[in-house]
Amino acid sequence: MRYLPLSPPDRARMLSVIGAGSIDDLFVDVPVEARLTRPVDLPYAQGELEVERALSKLASRNRAAGEGPFFCGAGAYRHHVPATVDHLIQRSEYLTAYTPYQPEIAQGGLQVLYEFQTQVARLTGMEIANASMYDGSTATAEAVMMASRVTRRSKAVLSPGLHPHYAATIRTMAEAAGLEVVAMPLAVDGEAGVIGAVDASTACVVVQTPNLFGAVTDVTAIGKAAREAGALMVVVTTEAVSWGLIKSPGEMGADIVAAEGQSIGNGLNFGGPYVGLFAFREAHLRQAPGRLCGETVDAEGRRGFVLTLSTREQHIRRDKATSNICTNSGLCALAFSIHMTLLGETGLRKLASLNHQKARGLKVALSGVKGVEVLTPRVFNEMAVRVPGDAAALVETLAGKGVLAGVPVSRLAPDQGFDDVILMAATETTTDADIAALASALATELS
């Protein structure tokens, strides 16, 4: 049964009120070549059973990460998510909650966000974290905007290891804001290259560690050089589990941290939704995007929580807002916080160490395959691997044999000289048998 709440007379009256002659008049701003001249190629009507069968058939064309050897990373990582996480986030008081327009009446929701902020601040080594952003890429773009407001400068320098999708998001937002973006050419291990591009107009340098190619870099010297030039350092991390093993961004002198939190508590989900993490130094609090929950006491002296800062355009005058991204990822942030609570510091360190061990095992196995070269130094759980010939074609061939070998760099950054490079990641979910299967498949295909 089709859902048609408006009758033809209803529609005619609505069009009359707005001064439109027909429904087509509402689409005059859409280029003619982009408009359909025929109905969408879908069945006009099907029963529930037929729809279920059709959608199930479509879904079966996907291959889930757990169906075989899986080495994809490049900013989204397969980790084990305890069943407790899914059980708790599906409680009705969490699952149905959205933006807290009257936040103080939902003390439980505010406490969750307060605990989340505390965890993110400690993980990143920063003084303050907000109550989450949309995802890692938009959080990074927001960090660039924030740095421009703080420094009153107009240029962002992007490191050679920054994820191309993050760089593209920065460019999109920077263009609208009138900011200049200088992106260094992609390099496996070249984060320090940003230093030479810093000048008196630089608002921030954006560096990633571990970077796109999996290289772990101590960016302390970069931060020092940026501050000497009056700029800020934005540190990006796409693999949050790495904080259990490597030095935190705050320890390395970050002024702002933007990260993807998917690795903790959130499955791959075929691409989303994910959760952006955002932390910063207290001196820059008033220029931070998003919302911030604080702890207080009520009129009777009891512990309580309050929305301390909310700078989105939904809540204040548009021209005074520090962000116009009108959502966050509250449920994903909750999943992150639950998983992080279950792990604790000891658990996170063990998880990170296990990831590193698996990556070392992968690196050793790959070294025994003729024609394969691991390019990444200082690996956490991901590495760039050079193979003979077309990496994308090889990935497709191996996928046909049941092994998802990774992500070809050419898919993320075409025409940049990395057509023969695959990004491969190993996590705690990777078994020794998976690694052996990959090495065997590579050896057979490259022989």
Encode pLDDT of 15-40 as tens digits.
999 999 999 999 999 999 999 888 88
Domain 65-80+346-446 and domain 83-340, same fold? Reply is no
User: Which pairs with CB-CB distance under 8 Å and at least 24 residues apart come from 60-63?
Assistant: 62/270, 63/399, 63/404
Topology at the third CATH level for domain 65-80+346-446: Aspartate Aminotransferase, domain 1 (3.90.1150)
Residue 227 to residues 194, 202, 233: CA-CA distances in angstroms?
13, 10, 8
Please report which confidence band the pLDDT of residue 93 belongs to, taking 50, 70 and 90 as the band edges: confident
Please report which confidence band the pLDDT of residue 315 belongs to, taking 50, 70 and 90 as the band edges: low
Quick one: pLDDT at residue 316?
63
Domain boundaries, the chain: 65-80+346-446, 83-340
Is residue 318 predicted with pLDDT exceeding 80?
no
Rounded Cα gap, residues 421 and 377, in angstroms: 15
Is residue 86 predicted with pLDDT exceeding 50?
yes
Contact indicator for 225, 252 with CB cutoff of 8 Å: no
Is residue 108 predicted with pLDDT exceeding 60?
yes
Residue 362 to residues 71, 127, 308, 378, 380: CA-CA distances in angstroms?
10, 36, 46, 14, 11
Q: Quote the Cα angle for 330-335-339, to 5°.
A: 145
- What architecture is domain 83-340? 3-Layer(aba) Sandwich (3.40)
Q: Of all residues in the chain, what percent carry a pLDDT higher than 70? A: 96
Mean pLDDT of 330-355: 97
Quick one: pLDDT at residue 1?
46
Mean pLDDT of 68-89: 97
pTM of the model: 0.90
Mean pLDDT for the chain overall: 93
Quick one: pLDDT at residue 422?
98
Instruction: List, for residues 200-223, the tens digit of each pLDDT value.
Output: 999 999 999 999 999 999 999 999
Rounded Cα gap, residues 142 and 145, in angstroms: 5
Please report which confidence band the pLDDT of residue 92 belongs to, taking 50, 70 and 90 as the band edges: confident
Instruction: List, for residues 123-180, the tens digit of each pLDDT value.
Output: 999 999 999 999 999 999 999 999 999 999 999 999 999 999 999 999 999 998 999 9
Mean pLDDT of 96-115: 80
Is residue 314 predicted with pLDDT exceeding 60?
no
Instruction: List, for residues 367-412, the tens digit of each pLDDT value.
Output: 999 999 999 999 999 999 999 999 999 999 999 999 999 999 999 9
Quick one: pLDDT at residue 2?
59
- Phi and psi dihedrals of 207, rounded to 5? -125, 150
